[in-house]
Amino acid sequence: MLEAITDTFEVMRDAMPVLMKGLQMTVLITIISLLIALVIGLVFGLFSISKNKVLRAISTVYVNIIRGTPILVQILYIYIGIPAVTDLRFSAFAAGVIVISINAGAYLVEIFRAGINSIDKGQMEAGRTLGFSYGETMRIIILPQAIKRMLPAFVNQFIVSIKDTSLLSVIGIGELLMSGQSIYSANFKAFEILTLVGILYFIIIYTLTLFSRWLERRMDVS
């Protein structure tokens, strides 16, 4: 019995270096993708509240397509589908970043839109009345207030995207789950390795969840 437990720990300890590499990849892809997604979310979020019908339509179509299809399909589409009919080739890493970015971006569009709409109309009017342009009022007056309110939702999207990166294992990116798979296909200790993989995801995600809740509480106070 005791031997079985020490065995388990040994398996886990030996797996740690590779898993930590995988975890690094998971975090790296998530951070790069989220940064790109923030830009996408801001731009298409502004489209979605614009007076221009065409811009609004572009934003709606983008959001609906991404939210209306499974992310696994999107991954295969970018990595295998598009190269099958064009000369475009993506490395697995690039394909992963693209998919997570446009996927998180679509959800951030809604977060930006809701955040900006939550700011009282009088703020825009006050800014415009002073002589600021629409863009200046957005940048100086509306967005600083809106982004503060959006912070908990940003952190939640970060959590969702971290989980989504595990799907990138299907195109062979060495993120956390893929690293685990490569270990247990060699040592056949699937139970121990997957438990450890789960624990590593959990630690990161739960920490972020607590952070997000803390942010939400702080918002309520102010």
Partner 1 sequence: MIKIENLKKSFGKLEVLKDINVKVEPQEVVCVIGPSGSGKSTFLRCINRLEEPTGGAIFIEDTNITDPKNNINKMRQKLGMVFQQFNLFPHMTVLNNITAAPKRLKGISEEDANKIGMQLLEKVGLEDKAKVYPDNLSGGQKQRAAIARALAMEPNIMLFDEPTSALDPEMVGDVLEVMKDLAKEGMTMVIVTHEMGFAREVADRVIFMDGGYIVEEGDPEQIFDNPQHERTKAFLSKVL
Question: Which residues contact partner 1 by CB under 8 A?
Answer: 120, 122-123, 125-133, 136, 140-141, 144-145, 148
User: How many Å apart are CA 86 and CA 93, to the nearest integer?
Assistant: 19
Q: Quick one: 21 or 128, whose CB is closer to partner 1?
A: 128
Nearer of residues 77 and 132 to partner 1, judged by Cβ = 132
Shortest Å, Cβ 122 to partner 1 = 4
CB 222 → partner 1: shortest distance, Å?
Answer: 8
Q: Give the shortest CB-140-to-partner 1 separation in angstroms.
A: 7
The nearer residue to partner 1, 129 or 185, going by C-beta atoms, is 129
Closer to partner 1 by Cβ: residue 7 or 136: 136
d(CA 156, CA 135): 28
DSSP letters for 134-180? HHHHIIIIIHHHHHHHHHHHHHHHHHHHHHHHGGGGGGT--SHHHHH
Interatomic CA distance for residues 157 and 22, integer angstroms: 21
- Shortest Cβ 136–partner 1 spacing (Å): 7
User: Which residue's CB is nearer to partner 1, number 69 or number 133?
Assistant: 133
d(CA 210, CA 205): 9
DSSP code of residue 65? H
Distance CA 9, CA 171 (A): 30
- Closest distance between partner 1 and the C-beta of residue 126, in Å? 4
